[in-house]
């Protein structure tokens, strides 16, 4: 084993102290709503980068700049940034109102006693198509509350079902920022990661539907929910989803989604040409923070690797987790710990990527499997932490509709995330050890 340098990890420690410390203070001491998300994460990463630059006087500043440039200029990082921007433009073009049509369409054709299961399934499809769990929760939580109101089902169960479905797509979607970050960080194709991940997520999703049906089949249905919908505006989402599964290049898939979405929005009169261009710009701009995090983390990690920080982490994992299966569990624990600290699964994956690559090389883990593990475990922890954006957005949306609900009422009913992590661990434990391609 190479000798590590624990002090090389100081920049990560500085970031965690600033971000986690301020977040806890804002959220739980000062009682500021969405307190964690009031902290400028780019600024905290800049502070961590400054610390990294001040370390190790044996390396000249010009050499540090060169190292950072190499880290940022990695082809996987450049690809990740471009996909982030194109995905942002796609969401800006198609809008998010279209996703509501899926929910109301399914609720209109399926018997009311299955409404909660429908919410979960709709959440799966919408998040898979849109690539955002927070966006899915924002859209579907009001519908979940309406379903609870007219059917008599528990509000927390309805909201938890939406959240579970939202995490399904966050984990699997081809345009999810977590998928983009994990695949490009590990250097694997999205279709390969999807296929690896699908056999972990599908059993968990099926069991979730079974559990929800078992809990709600005998519910006292009090009314019906009806609302208008337009299925034609779902077409761009379906094209992106099918194109990704088939294995078409992600840039081509997103371009097809942007073009088809633009044509449909203009032909149906849903938006004016000038407004469409504005939405494209705002969609790309919405990816600014995620893009800058990828750039800054790449620069910081390049210096930490040079100083011996990655060797320290790798040595620690090798002492605790033995063998190939242990390496995979260690990778999941690593990204989970980072997610708990940052309350952001994309940031956690971006931070874990370079270390996970070292683990993969050491333990002989394929890139697609590493990407799947990073995405799956980060989505699990992100779903259940009470201060995550998904939980806070859901609670806020319910509160705006006149209901009071707490994270601790929702967390026990998040069946899908719990079943997902169980499925992931079983998949790791019972998959035969063999050389991955």
Residues in the chain: 437
437 is a domain residue: no
pLDDT of residue 98: 64
107 is a domain residue: yes
The total of structural domains in the chain comes to: 1
pLDDT of residue 370: 94
148 is a domain residue: yes
Instruction: State the DSSP string of 355-374.
Output: HHHHHHHHHT--HHHHHHHH
206 is a domain residue: yes
3-class DSSP state of 431? coil
1 is a domain residue: no
Task: Determine the structural domain holding residue 183 and report its residue range.
Answer: 6-430
- Total-model pTM: 0.78
H helical segments located in 30-132: 41-54, 61-72, 75-94, 98-109, 115-130
Cα-based torsion angle of the residue sequence 324, 326, 332, 336 in order, rounded to the nearest 10 degrees: -160
pLDDT of residue 412: 93
pLDDT along the chain (437 residues), means of 10: 77 86 84 77 90 89 92 80 84 72 73 84 85 81 82 88 93 86 88 91 96 81 61 80 78 87 87 90 84 85 85 81 88 88 81 87 91 94 85 82 83 95 93 59
251 is a domain residue: yes
In terms of Cβ atoms closer than 10 Å to its own Cβ (0-12, 13-18, 19+), residue 92 is buried
Residues 125 and 209: beta-carbon distance below 8 Å: no
The set of residues, in sequence order, having a beta carbon less than 8 Å from that of 374 and lying 6+ positions away, is 182, 185, 186, 331, 332, 335, 349, 352, 353, 356
77 is a domain residue: yes
419 is a domain residue: yes
Residues 382 and 338: beta-carbon distance below 8 Å: no
């Amino acid at each position: 084993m190479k000798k590590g340098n624990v002090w090389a990890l100081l920049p990560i420690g500085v970031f965690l102290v600033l971000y986690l410390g301020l977040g806890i203070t804002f959220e739980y001491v000062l009682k500021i709503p969405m307190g964690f998300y009031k902290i400028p994460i780019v600024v905290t990463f800049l502070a961590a980068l400054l610390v990294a630059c001040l370390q190790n006087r044996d390396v000249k500043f010009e050499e540090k700049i060169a190292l950072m440039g190499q880290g940022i200029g990695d082809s996987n990082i450049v690809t990740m940034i471009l996909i982030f921007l194109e995905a942002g433009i796609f969401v800006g073009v198609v809008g998010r109102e279209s996703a509501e049509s899926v929910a109301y369409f399914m609720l209109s054709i399926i018997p009311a006693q299955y409404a909660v299961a429908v919410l979960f399934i709709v959440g799966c499809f919408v998040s898979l198509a849109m690539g955002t769990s927070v966006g899915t929760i924002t859209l579907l939580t009001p519908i979940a509350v309406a379903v609870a109101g007219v059917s008599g089902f528990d509000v927390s169960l309805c909201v938890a079902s939406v959240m579970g479905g939202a995490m399904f797509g966050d984990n699997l979607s081809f345009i999810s920022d977590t998928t983009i970050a994990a695949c490009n960080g590990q250097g694997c194709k999205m279709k390969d990661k999807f296929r690896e991940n699908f056999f972990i997520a599908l059993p968990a999703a099926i069991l979730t539907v079974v559990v929800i049906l078992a809990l709600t089949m005998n519910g006292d249905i009090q009314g019906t929910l009806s609302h208008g919908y337009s299925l034609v505006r779902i077409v761009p989402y379906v094209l992106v989803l099918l194109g990704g599964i088939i294995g078409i290049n992600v840039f081509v898939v997103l371009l097809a989604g942007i073009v088809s979405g633009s044509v449909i929005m203009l032909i149906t009169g849903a938006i004016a040409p000038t407004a469409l261009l504005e939405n494209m710009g705002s969609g790309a701009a919405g990816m600014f923070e995620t893009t800058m995090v990828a750039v800054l983390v790449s620069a910081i990690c390049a210096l930490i690797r040079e100083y011996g920080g990655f060797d320290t982490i790798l040595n620690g994992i090798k002492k605790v987790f033995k063998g190939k299966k242990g390496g995979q569990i260690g990778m999941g624990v690593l990204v989970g710990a980072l997610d708990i600290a940052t309350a952001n699964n994309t940031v956690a994956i971006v931070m874990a990527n370079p270390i996970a690559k070292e683990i993969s090389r050491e333990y002989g883990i394929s890139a697609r499997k590493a990407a799947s593990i990073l995405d799956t475990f980060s989505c699990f922890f992100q779903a259940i932490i009470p201060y995550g954006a998904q939980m806070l957005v859901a609670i806020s949306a319910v509160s705006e509709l006149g209901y009071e609900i707490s994270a601790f009422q929702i967390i026990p009913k998040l069946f899908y995330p719990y079943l997902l992590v169980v499925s992931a661990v079983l998949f790791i434990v019972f998959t035969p050890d063999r050389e991955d391609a």
